[in-house]
């Protein structure tokens, strides 16, 4: 009798609850796997979809209207080499986690200004803010030594440079000048040129 009771107790205390609890491990693990895989595929696809030139250039009214056409006329859209630099090549880091951080930050900021505030919804508003927006990009590029540009251009392998270009490029050896200090407006109008082109917007 005591033996039987002991057995019952053991089952009561350890048998059933224990297996029930153990059952939670594979179920929980499986759920975590499903959720994790879903999230990974979801963001992977989202990252792809929101990284194309068509998306960056046209999903927002302001980009379609003011940014896309300028890029399409730039040397980075079509050139004798046939190599195109897209929005993401210059504006989104290639490496993780930087890529996700920048995309998230830019997505929130741009979306807020575009869809909530309408900060750059007209030519006037866009031009009024162009310099400020450009400066933000320049600042980032200075901070990372024009990493995006260097992803495609390797100054050491330039050939046939003019003497002036060569002298200028040698200035980078000291480490305190970078591409964006000299080359602005390579995919968009330089803000100074834009101010001349759209004078009424800057009154």
Q: Which two tokens stand for residue 167?
A: 């002298």
> In the bound complex, what is the minimum distance in angstroms from residue 96's beta carbon to ligand HEC?
18
CA distances from 162 to 18, 158, 177, 179 (A): 79, 10, 19, 17
| Interacting residues toward ligand HEC by CB under 6 A | 53, 56-57, 63, 67-68, 71, 75-76, 79-81, 83, 85-87, 89-91, 130, 133-134, 137-138, 146, 148-153, 155, 162, 164-165, 168-169, 171-172, 177-188, 190
Environment class of 1 (CB within 10 Å of its CB; exposed 0-12, middle 13-18, buried 19+): exposed
> In the bound complex, what is the minimum distance in angstroms from residue 48's beta carbon to ligand HEC?
16
> In the bound complex, what is the minimum distance in angstroms from residue 44's beta carbon to ligand HEC?
21
> In the bound complex, what is the minimum distance in angstroms from residue 199's beta carbon to ligand HEC?
17
Of residues 159, 156, 137, 150, the one with CA closest to residue 178: 150
CB 108 within 8 A of CB 185: no
């Amino acid at each position: 009798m005591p033996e039987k009771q002991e057995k019952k107790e053991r089952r009561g205390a350890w048998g059933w609850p224990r297996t029930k609890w153990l059952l939670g491990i594979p179920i929980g693990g499986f759920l975590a796997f499903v959720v994790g895989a879903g999230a990974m595929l979801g963001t992977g696809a989202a990252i792809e979809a929101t990284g194309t030139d068509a998306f960056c250039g046209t999903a927002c009214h302001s980009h379609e209207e003011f940014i896309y056409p300028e890029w399409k006329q730039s040397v980075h859209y079509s050139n004798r080499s046939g190599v195109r630099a897209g929005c993401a090549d210059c504006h989104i880091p290639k490496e993780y986690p930087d890529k996700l951080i920048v995309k998230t930050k830019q997505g929130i900021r741009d979306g807020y200004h575009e869809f909530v505030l309408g900060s750059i919804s007209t030519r006037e508003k866009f031009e009024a803010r162009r310099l400020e927006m450009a400066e933000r990009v320049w600042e980032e590029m200075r901070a990372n030594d024009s990493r995006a540009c260097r992803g495609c251009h390797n100054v050491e392998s330039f050939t046939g440079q003019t003497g002036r270009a060569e002298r200028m490029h040698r200035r980078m050896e000291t480490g305190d000048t970078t591409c964006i200090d000299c080359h602005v407006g390579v995919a968009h109008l330089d803000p100074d040129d834009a101010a001349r082109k759209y004078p009424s917007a800057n009154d």
